[in-house]
């Protein structure tokens, strides 16, 4: 069961607000985790980022939220990803209403393995055999 | 002090069962009163707080320390403040106008009791008028609940992630 007012409010909450809150929650947890792992204090972090502690406090608080640039600096200093953006480049193949396939174009595991374009393969297989 | 009933406020999220308190003679729970009262006044903040409770805490992370770090006597105020270190780095919700008082049962990450709260209008709770009354009341609720847990008047049923009265009943009046 869920309180009726809770259900009503969450139903009326714009999707973008929920995405924003969730992503911020994820970032808070991630930064806390990394800082604990590194054993940093505010002063340590300020030293690493070559800023005064008061500037760090101001930078991370008040009326301005984290920017992509500030997150990038933190990622560089903490030497770990805070936010991750999927880098899949997928394409879709549909042949004559019979065959459907979606392939993800990703980096090969080893540098010497070529990426196989399945569209070409399908085309090759369907080429008429010469009499 | 009148008696109050502990009742489930939301048990539909994946990671947490949320309880609330309701005065025996009141038609609404304290947490419902809080949201009903502030929804029209502080709509954006209320929606963010609800998403924090249901999405971030209830669904994504559970009631972990990162979101329960604004300690105020026995209870904790939501939302969390932004300290990401033991010092002063603030992160998120720095100017958030609302406070909702909560208690993690035995500091567990899956059982939370929500109380009432209000608008943080002054620098401290005492300077925030009505909020201070809700703060005192929430601490009284919380102290009573913790005492009931210690004395075995209520216990945690791990299988169902719920609180039970000593006789196994789900109806808990303290």
Q: Which of A34-38, A52-56, B40-44 has the lowest mean pLDDT?
A: A52-56
Taking only the tens place, the pLDDT of each residue in B107-121 is 999 999 999 999 988
CA B106 to chain centre: 13
Q: What is the mean pLDDT of chain B?
A: 89
- Which residues of B have a CB under 8 Å from any CB of A? 8-12, 20, 29, 31-32, 35-36, 39, 44, 46-48, 50-57, 60-61, 64, 66-67, 80, 82, 84-92, 94-95
Answer yes or no: is A89 within a domain. no
Taking only the tens place, the pLDDT of each residue in B161-172 is 999 999 999 999
- Looking at residue B140, what is its pLDDT? 93
> CA-CA-CA-CA torsion for B133, B135, B136, B141, nearest 10 degrees?
120
Q: Which of A1-5, A16-20, A103-107, B82-86 has the lowest mean pLDDT?
A: B82-86
Q: Cβ A2–B12 below 8 Å, yes or no? A: yes
Top-confidence residue, B102 or A50? B102
Top-confidence residue, A16 or A51? A16
Q: Which of A46-60, A70-84, B64-78 has the lowest mean pLDDT?
A: A46-60
- Which residues contact residue A41 at a Cβ distance below 8 angstroms, ignoring those fewer than 6 apart? B85, B86, B87
Percentage of chain A lying above the pLDDT 90 cut: 15
> Which residue in this structure is represented by tokens 């994504």?
B60
Answer yes or no: is A9 within a domain. yes
Contacting residues of A for B69, CB less than 8 Å apart: none
Indicate the pLDDT class of residue B103, thresholds 50, 70 and 90.
Answer: very high
Give yes or no for residue B32 having a pLDDT over 60: yes
Test mutation, A4, A7, A9, chain B, max B CBs within 10 A: A9
Indicate the pLDDT class of residue B105, thresholds 50, 70 and 90.
Answer: very high
Q: Cβ B39–A10 below 8 Å, yes or no? A: no
CA-CA-CA-CA torsion sign (B138, B140, B143, B144):
negative
Domain span at residue A48 reads 4-78
Q: What is the mean predicted confidence (pLDDT) over A36-40?
A: 80
Give yes or no for residue B86 having a pLDDT over 60: no
- Which residues contact residue A76 at a Cβ distance below 8 angstroms, ignoring those fewer than 6 apart? none
Residue A61 φ/ψ, nearest 5 degrees: -130, -160
Helix axes A4-12, B30-39, angle to 10 degrees: 30
Radius of gyration, alpha carbons of chain A: 24
- Looking at residue A95, what is its pLDDT? 57
Residue A46's CATH number: 1.10.260.40
- Distance (Å, rounded) from C-alpha A104 to C-alpha B27? 55
Answer yes or no: is A18 within a domain. yes
What is the number of domains present in chain A?
Answer: 1
Q: Cβ A14–B86 below 8 Å, yes or no? A: no
Indicate the pLDDT class of residue A11, thresholds 50, 70 and 90.
Answer: very high
Task: Name the token pair of A90.
Answer: 């997928």
Top-confidence residue, B133 or A36? B133
**What is this model's ipTM?**
0.89
Answer yes or no: is A63 within a domain. yes
Please name every residue paired with B28 in a beta bridge, in sequence order, or none if there are none: none
Indicate the pLDDT class of residue A72, thresholds 50, 70 and 90.
Answer: confident
CA B99 to chain centre: 10
- Distance (Å, rounded) from C-alpha B44 to C-alpha B34? 15
Q: Where are the beta strands (DSSP E) in chain A?
A: 89-95, 99-105
Answer yes or no: is A94 within a domain. no
Give yes or no for residue A64 having a pLDDT over 50: no
Answer yes or no: is A37 within a domain. yes
- Which residues contact residue A62 at a Cβ distance below 8 angstroms, ignoring those fewer than 6 apart? B90, B94, B95
Answer yes or no: is A92 within a domain. no
Please name every residue paired with B19 in a beta bridge, in sequence order, or none if there are none: B8, B113
Length of chain A: 131
Answer yes or no: is A67 within a domain. yes
């Amino acid at each position: 069961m869920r309180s009726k007012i809770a259900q009503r409010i969450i139903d009326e909450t714009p999707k973008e607000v929920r995405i924003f809150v969730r992503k911020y929650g994820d970032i808070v947890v991630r930064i806390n985790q990394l800082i604990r792992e590194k054993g940093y204090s505010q002063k340590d972090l300020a030293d690493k980022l070559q800023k005064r502690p008061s500037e760090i406090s101001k930078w991370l608080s008040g009326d301005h939220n984290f920017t992509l640039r500030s997150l990038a600096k933190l990622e560089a200093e903490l030497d770990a990803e805070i936010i991750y953006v999927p880098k899949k480049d997928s394409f879709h193949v549909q042949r004559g209403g019979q065959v459907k396939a979606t392939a993800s174009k990703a980096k090969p595991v080893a540098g010497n393995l070529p990426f196989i374009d399945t569209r070409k393969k399908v085309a090759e297989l369907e080429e008429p055999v010469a009499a | 002090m009148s008696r109050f009933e502990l009742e489930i406020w939301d048990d539909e999220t994946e990671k947490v069962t949320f309880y609330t308190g309701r005065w025996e003679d009141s038609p609404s729970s304290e947490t419902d009163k809080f949201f009903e009262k502030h929804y029209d006044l502080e709509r954006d903040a209320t929606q963010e707080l609800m998403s924090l409770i249901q999405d971030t805490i209830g669904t994504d992370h559970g009631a972990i320390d990162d979101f329960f770090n604004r300690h105020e006597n026995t209870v904790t105020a939501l939302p969390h403040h932004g300290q990401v270190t033991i010092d002063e780095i603030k992160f998120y919700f720095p100017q958030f106008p609302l406070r909702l008082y909560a208690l993690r049962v035995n500091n567990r990450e899956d059982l939370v009791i929500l109380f009432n709260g209000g608008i943080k209008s002054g620098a401290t709770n005492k300077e925030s008028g009505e909020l201070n009354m809700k703060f005192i009341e929430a601490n009284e609720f919380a102290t009573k609940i913790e005492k009931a847990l210690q004395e075995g008047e209520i216990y945690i049923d791990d299988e169902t992630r719920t609180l039970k009265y000593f006789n196994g009943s789900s109806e808990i009046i303290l």
